[in-house]
């Protein structure tokens, strides 16, 4: 999920001056001045992030130069970004007493909240993020993100795009060296991933490094796409020379540095093991959930929900003939049922992805029952690249370019197809695809009435909460064809509830990887390797896993309150139209749903 990006262009600035459809602007001069301020902040954000420009498909025209660059990952760049964000906050705070429309008041509140959260980790802890506190780990660092970015976000349609790709390879080598130097500095301050994380990191680095340069994925991504577009040029030779002479030496240095640092990392697996770890975790929970819930409250919430969902699963599993053992044991037995498994082969993986596409198409046909506005943004489903699958998440979503030049992508980790029994796949697709992330994010991106600072914002509790709500909505729409499919949906909920227990257990109760993995296996029935990959993610990205079920709880509560207020007048399509107002903190989401319901009641 990443999902914190900004956009600016002449067309975007015009759009940024508009307001949510549900909140007609009635303000005058102050509204216009604030819209201009939003647009200017947007421009400054883009100036600092060429990767954002590319990710949103705006590396053309006046911003074509961004396509040859990668983000500056230096310490000075973090300082510069912090200063720019603090300046933006100061500028926008001056509008708090302005005569603004209700639409602009909402925009101002959401954007100030988002910008404020961006300052916490760099200002308080000297880190880029409280949720991602380590510079290099099994899911973080230039070595991990840049090859995937070049392959999926950097489009190749002309010779100039190939030249830009080659330039970015040189930038990649520079960023690797910067990461190495900064990781040494941060390790000296006590911020270094656990030893097992560094082992996974080294494994992935070596997979990238051990490919012959000419046939490496970095080179072949360019060569194959250039050939597909009949773009003349010896791109293989150009790219391979940079990989061989610049990238591989930089990787060698990074590998040596991580090998040397590994033995110096502090014992333990949670963020508590680092300086001010308790403070960092509190900040991470705040960032991930947009609430003031404490770790103890979240832990208790998880225990309660695990028990409740397990009871619901008990009924379904008994009805399907699975009567012996705990819920986890019965789900584990179902997970290895031969009829539930795809072949562990290229053909099996192809068949699995084909079924995911059929599930997306079937759900798309049902969406008009629940949504008045349905974006037509294309979605591709791909396997996670082999080079990063050992450390990558089980599934994740990349948003589409705003200009339609690149589709959205739903990635699934197919390292082991045994991780994906058939009964659990529909809920994953409804989460990552429709009506989940793809529908929600595409709706925000194509809603022409909100500032771009909000249009492309990502708030984990809002978006991940929606994606879980989408799995529930899919049940209402008849998306689970069999009782076992519905068991897969409940297992997904059980998995997310267990995360509340595990994440807080790791970071406040000093659970280790084994204890957390044992709990996940016992409660969810998922295979141990899959559970362990998840636990490893929670260890190195504190708080993020709590956003799903906390957010889901607020979405379902907000809907229930709207239904109670409106009674027979409740319109599900109108409730879902709140998506067109963009992501927002959960407290504001509840307030907006309540306000919309009150307006509908008085209409």
- How much of the chain, in percent, has pLDDT values that exceed 90? 90
Closest CA to 522 of 298, 330, 303, 341: 330
Task: Report pLDDT digits (tens) over 190-229.
Answer: 999 999 999 999 999 999 999 999 999 999 999 999 999 9
pLDDT grade for 23, boundaries at 50, 70 and 90: very low
Task: Report pLDDT digits (tens) over 330-372.
Answer: 999 999 999 999 999 999 999 999 999 999 999 999 999 999 9
Supply the pLDDT for residue 27. Answer: 58
pLDDT grade for 591, boundaries at 50, 70 and 90: very high
Whole-angstrom distance, CA of residue 261 vs CA of residue 189: 12
Lowest mean pLDDT among 91-105, 383-397, 524-538: 383-397
Task: Report pLDDT digits (tens) over 543-582.
Answer: 999 999 999 999 999 999 999 999 999 999 999 999 999 9
Q: Residue 137 corresponds to which tokens in the numbers above?
A: 């780990």
pLDDT grade for 11, boundaries at 50, 70 and 90: very low
pLDDT grade for 390, boundaries at 50, 70 and 90: confident
Using the predicted structure, report yes or no on whether residue 441 has a pLDDT greater than 80: yes
Task: Report pLDDT digits (tens) over 24-60.
Answer: 445 589 999 999 999 999 999 999 999 999 999 999 9
Residue 231 burial (10 A CB sphere; 0-12, 13-18, 19+) = middle
Supply the pLDDT for residue 25. Answer: 45
pLDDT grade for 403, boundaries at 50, 70 and 90: confident
pLDDT grade for 402, boundaries at 50, 70 and 90: confident
Closest CA to 82 of 122, 114, 49: 122
Supply the pLDDT for residue 456. Answer: 83
Could you tell me if 69 and 163 are in contact, meaning their C-beta atoms sit under 8 angstroms apart? Answer: no
Supply the pLDDT for residue 328. Answer: 96
Whole-angstrom distance, CA of residue 140 vs CA of residue 540: 9
Supply the pLDDT for residue 18. Answer: 31
Closest CA to 168 of 221, 120, 95: 221
Using the predicted structure, report yes or no on whether residue 106 has a pLDDT greater than 60: yes
Residues near 444 by beta carbon (within 8 Å), at least 6 away in sequence: 450, 454, 455, 456, 579, 580, 582, 583
Q: How far is CA 130 from CA 544, 586, 597, in A?
A: 10, 19, 36
Strand partners for 412:
383, 395
């Amino acid at each position: 999920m990443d999902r914190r990006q900004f956009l600016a262009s002449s067309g975007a600035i015009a759009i940024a001056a508009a307001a949510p459809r549900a909140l007609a602007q009635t303000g005058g001069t102050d509204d216009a001045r604030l819209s201009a301020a939003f647009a200017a902040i947007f421009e400054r954000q883009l100036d600092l992030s060429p990767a954002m420009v590319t990710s949103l498909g705006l590396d053309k025209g006046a911003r074509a130069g961004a396509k040859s660059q990668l983000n500056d990952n230096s310490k000075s760049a973090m300082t510069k970004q912090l200063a720019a964000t603090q300046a933006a906050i100061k500028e926008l705070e001056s509008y708090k007493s302005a005569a603004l429309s209700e639409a602009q008041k909402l925009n101002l509140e959401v954007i100030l909240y988002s910008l404020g959260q961006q300052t916490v980790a760099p200002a308080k802890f000297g880190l880029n993020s409280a949720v991602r506190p380590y510079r290099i780990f099994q899911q973080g660092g230039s070595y991990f993100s840049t090859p995937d970015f070049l392959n999926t976000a950097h489009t190749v349609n002309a010779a100039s795009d190939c030249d830009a790709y080659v330039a970015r390879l040189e930038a990649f080598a520079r960023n690797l060296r910067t990461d190495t130097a900064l990781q040494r500095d941060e390790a000296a301050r006590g911020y270094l991933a656990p030893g097992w994380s560094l082992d996974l990191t080294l494994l992935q680095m070596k997979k990238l490094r051990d490919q012959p340069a000419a046939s490496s994925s970095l080179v072949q991504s360019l060569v194959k796409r250039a050939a597909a577009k009949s773009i003349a040029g010896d791109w293989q030779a150009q790219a391979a020379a940079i990989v061989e002479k610049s990238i591989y030496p930089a990787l060698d240095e990074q590998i040596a540095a991580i090998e040397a640092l590994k033995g110096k990392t502090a014992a333990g697996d949670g963020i508590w093991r680092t300086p001010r770890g308790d403070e960092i975790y509190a900040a991470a929970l705040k960032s991930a959930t947009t609430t003031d819930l404490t770790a103890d409250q979240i832990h208790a919430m998880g225990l309660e929900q695990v028990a409740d969902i397990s009871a619901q699963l008990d009924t379904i599993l008994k009805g399907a003939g699975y009567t012996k053992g705990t819920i986890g044991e019965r789900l584990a037995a179902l997970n290895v049922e031969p009829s539930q498994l795809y072949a562990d082969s290229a053909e099996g993986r192809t068949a699995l992805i084909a079924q995911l596409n059929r599930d997306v198409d079937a759900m798309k046909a049902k969406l008009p029952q629940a949504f008045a506005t349905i974006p037509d943004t294309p979605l591709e489903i791909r396997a996670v690249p082999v080079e990063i699958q050992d450390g990558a998440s089980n599934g994740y979503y990349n948003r589409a370019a705003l200009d339609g030049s690149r589709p959205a992508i739903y990635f699934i980790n197919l390292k082991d197809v045994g991780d994906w029994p058939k009964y659990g796949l529909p809920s994953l697709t409804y989460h990552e695809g429709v009506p989940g992330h793809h529908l929600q994010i595409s709706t925000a991106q194509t809603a022409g009435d909100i500032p771009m600072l909000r249009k492309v914002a990502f708030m984990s509790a809002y978006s991940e909460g929606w994606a879980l709500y989408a799995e529930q909505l899919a049940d209402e729409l008849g998306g689970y064809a069999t009782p076992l499919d519905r068991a897969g949906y409940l297992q997904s909920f059980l998995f997310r509830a267990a995360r509340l227990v595990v994440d807080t257990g790791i970071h406040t109760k000093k659970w280790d990887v084994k204890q957390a993995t044992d709990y996940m296996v016992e409660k969810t029935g998922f295979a141990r390797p899959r559970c362990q990959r998840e636990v490893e993610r929670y260890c190195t990205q504190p708080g993020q896993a709590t956003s799903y079920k906390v957010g889901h709880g607020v979405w379902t509560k907000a809907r229930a309150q709207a239904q109670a207020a409106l009674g027979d007048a409740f319109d599900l399509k109108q409730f879902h139209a709140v998506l067109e107002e963009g992501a927002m903190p959960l407290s504001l989401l509840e307030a907006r749903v309540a306000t919309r319901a009150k307006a509908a009641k008085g209409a």
